[in-house]
Chains A and B, each alone.
Chain A
């Protein structure tokens, strides 16, 4: 069974500080997909990034960067120079690839609440 663990329940930083969110996953599949979603106070779930298990190239997108380490089953997310608008709950999620046409459910971690203070 697949499992996602986000050990940090809440992180509080001052604006302009960097913040790194940890995500550790478990799966028996060799092909899988990892995601980060953001849930701002308004409640919607906003897609941030998708990575497949064969793509360990880390990426930077603006102030966001991701560090995928297959050897340690981790998919960490960093916000550089945080801003107040980054305050939200961030969810890591895992989807196992299926050969059938069945849709691939997302298994979410418990989320990390990020509070950026001015």
Chain B
């Protein structure tokens, strides 16, 4: 069964460093998303991506964040200068159709020290 994959599973970085989180969505899906979950809290939307451009972003998704689909398979989230409060689990998701169910990857746990 197709699934969303994410790498790395855990990333530890120092404050101020750049990180890139990688995702491979399900191959025939057209809509891509990033969410984050701070430990013990709710899952929060960051950004949605369709047709090679951002379709919506949340207030969290400020200038420090960017997304890219560099080739036909990968979907990346870059944080340019990490802050302590960026420590969270980051989930990538994809869906085949608009308003369809979103399938989530296993997440990348980002720890900023």
Chain A residues in contact with chain B, CB under 8 A? 33, 35, 37, 42-47, 50, 52, 91, 93, 95, 97-98, 100-111
CB neighbours of B98 from chain A (8 A) = 97-98, 101, 103-104
Q: Can you name 16 extra interface pairs (CB under 8 A) apart from A106-B33, A108-B43?
A: A43-B106, A45-B93, A45-B107, A46-B104, A47-B101, A47-B102, A50-B100, A91-B43, A93-B43, A101-B55, A103-B31, A103-B48, A103-B98, A104-B99, A105-B58, A110-B42
- Total CB contacts across the A-B interface at under 8 A: 74
Q: Is B24 engaged at the interface, CB distance under 8 Å to the other chain?
A: no
Main secondary structure of the interface of B (DSSP, over half): strand
What distance in Å separates the Cβ of A79 from its nearest Cβ neighbour in chain B? 19
CB neighbours of A111 from chain B (8 A) = 42
The interface on chain B, measured as residues whose beta carbon lies within 8 A of the other chain's beta carbons, has a size of 30
Chain B residues in contact with chain A, CB under 8 A? 31-33, 35, 41-45, 48-51, 55-56, 58, 89, 91, 93, 95, 98-107
CB neighbours of B103 from chain A (8 A) = 47
Q: Which of B43, B44, B56, B105 contacts A103 (CB 8 A)?
A: B56
CB atoms of A45 and B104 under 8 A apart: yes
CB neighbours of A35 from chain B (8 A) = 101-102
Evaluate whether A44 and B107 lie within 8 angstroms (CB atoms) in the complex, with A102-B50, A103-B31, A105-B56 already known. Answer: yes
What is the chain B residue whose CB lies nearest that of A32?
Answer: B99
